[in-house]
């Protein structure tokens, strides 16, 4: 399979469709990006890199970072942590609060904001300087010094934090929050404000395509069985209330972010990151999803 030719073909076809969406504006700093950017990077398990379009331009990875933070606590699967967050699709928007009350302060999964806040809270309990640990971990699994936190994006989200602050207080009211709300939110907004290019992001997902082993870090990041579970969570919960549609159209485990990025893996073959800032009404990138749909159609295989 000539991956370079494949992604170039996908890129051209998506561009010709002239799809439109809306850049996220609830984090004002994110709304300042050029909406016409579009890039794809694919990394195979030997470390060969393929890229097209704006694949070297850094962008705000936002919720995609929830996969990295989840990975950092996954070895505690079956421990107390997994009584604090479930592994079910929510069928609700990423920042929904309603379900949290019906379900007694236990978020449906680690990718909706409430669940990701519990994971970040767990990291704050575990590490004295969680943000440094998150950055070091991501640099290690990508084999580069690629973590940059965009402070303007971080501040912009912090200044528009009513919803996430409400979620954190709500979790605390159910005793499902161990640390200071301000500290955890600061770490959460900072890891969401990390910037990476498509190539860097695809590298950070490589271990998930490789049974948990990172060719960049030269070590097992997750056991094979835990890597399968993170992939299962991405497939069922990675796109919030659009997870079914993404599985139906694309058929790969993937995670989106409101910066317009999507990272996905084809187990035992490659990891891929696509980025284009314009989003659909569910908060997921219009062009990125379409590109991955075309990609698995052309490959004629997915998970299924």
Catalogue the active-site residues.
63, 66, 188, 240, 258
36 is in an annotated binding site: no
**Least Å from the CB of residue 47 to ligand DON:** 28
What angle separates helix 224-237 from helix 65-73, to the nearest 10 degrees? 140
Which range in 35-43, 121-129, 215-223, 251-259 contacts ligand DON by CB under 6 A?
A: 251-259
For ligand DON, which residue of 90, 113, 176, 197 counts as binding (CB under 6 A)?
113
CB of 4 to ligand DON, least distance (A): 28
- Number of chain positions touching ligand DON (CB under 6 A): 13
220 is in an annotated binding site: no
Q: Are 271 and 263 in contact (CB under 8 A)?
A: yes
With CA atoms as reference, report the closest residue to 116 among 65, 155, 172.
65
* Whether the Cβ atoms of residue 222 and residue 230 lie closer than 8 Å to each other: yes
Q: Per CB under 6 A, does 190 bind ligand DON?
A: no
Does the footprint of ligand DON cover residue 107 (CB under 6 A)?
Answer: no
The span of 143-151, 170-178, 241-249, 252-260 binding ligand DON (CB under 6 A) equals 252-260
> C-beta of 283: minimal distance to ligand DON in Å?
4
Give yes or no for residue 257 binding ligand DON (CB under 6 A): yes
**C-alpha to C-alpha distance for 251 and 292, rounded to whole angstroms:** 9
* Stretch 67-96 residues interacting with ligand DON (CB under 6 A): 94-95
Rounded to the nearest 10 degrees, the angle between the axes of helix 181-192 and helix 151-158 is: 140
The span from the first CA to the last CA of the chain, in angstroms, equals 19
Segment interacting with ligand DON (CB under 6 A) among 42-50, 227-235, 245-253, 255-263? 255-263
Q: Minimum distance between the CB of residue 229 and ligand DON, rounded to whole angstroms?
A: 21
Burial zone of 119 (CB within 10 Å; 0-12 exposed, 13-18 middle, 19+ buried) = buried
Q: Which of 62, 69, 150, 204 binds ligand DON (CB under 6 A)?
A: 62
The beta-carbon contacts of 114-118 under 8 Å, at least 24 apart in sequence, are: 114/167, 114/170, 114/171, 115/85, 115/86, 116/63, 116/66, 116/69, 116/70, 116/188, 117/164, 117/167, 117/168, 117/171, 117/177, 117/184, 117/185, 117/188, 118/81, 118/84, 118/85, 118/171, 118/176, 118/177
Region of 70-78, 203-211, 212-220, 256-264 interacting with ligand DON (CB under 6 A): 256-264
224 among annotated binding-site residues: no
Least Cβ distance, residue 273 to ligand DON (angstroms): 14
Whether the CB-CB separation of 290 and 17 falls below 8 Å is answered with: yes
Q: What angle do CA 259, 166, 70 make, to 5 degrees?
A: 50
240 in a labelled binding site: yes
| 174 appears as a binding residue in the annotation | no
Applying CB under 6 A, which residues contact ligand DON?
62-63, 94-95, 113, 157, 164, 192, 256-258, 283-284
Q: Write out the binding residues for substrate.
A: 63, 113, 157, 164, 188, 240, 258
């Amino acid at each position: 399979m000539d991956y370079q030719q494949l992604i170039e073909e996908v890129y051209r076809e998506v561009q010709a469709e002239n799809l439109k969406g809306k850049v996220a504006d609830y984090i004002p700093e994110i709304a300042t990006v050029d909406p016409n950017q579009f890039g794809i990077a694919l990394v195979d398990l030997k470390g060969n890199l393929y890229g097209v379009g704006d694949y070297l331009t850094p962008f705000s990875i936002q919720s995609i970072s929830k996969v990295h933070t989840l990975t950092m606590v996954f070895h505690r699967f079956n421990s107390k942590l997994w009584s604090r967050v479930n592994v079910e699709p929510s069928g609700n928007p990423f920042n929904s609060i309603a379900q949290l009350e019906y379900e007694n302060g236990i978020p449906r999964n680690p990718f909706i904001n409430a669940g990701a806040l519990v994971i970040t809270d767990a990291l704050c309990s575990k590490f004295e300087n969680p943000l440094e640990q998150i950055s070091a971990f991501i640099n290690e699994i990508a084999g580069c010094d690629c973590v940059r936190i965009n402070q303007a994006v971080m501040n912009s989200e912090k200044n528009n934090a009513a919803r996430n602050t409400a979620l954190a207080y709500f979790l605390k009211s159910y005793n499902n929050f161990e640390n200071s709300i301000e500290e955890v939110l600061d770490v959460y907004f900072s890891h969401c404000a990390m910037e990476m290019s498509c190539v860097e992001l695809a590298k950070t997902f490589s271990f998930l395509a490789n049974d948990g082993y990172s060719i960049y870090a030269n070590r097992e990041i997750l056991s094979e069985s835990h890597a399968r579970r993170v992939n299962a969570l991405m497939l069922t919960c990675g796109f919030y209330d659009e997870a079914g549609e993404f599985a139906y159209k694309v058929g790969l485990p993937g995670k989106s972010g409101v910066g317009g990025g999507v990272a996905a893996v084809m187990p035992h073959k490659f990891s891929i990151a696509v980025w284009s800032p314009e989003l659909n009404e569910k908060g997921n990138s219009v062009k990125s999803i379409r590109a991955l749909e075309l990609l698995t159609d052309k490959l004629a295989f997915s998970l299924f």
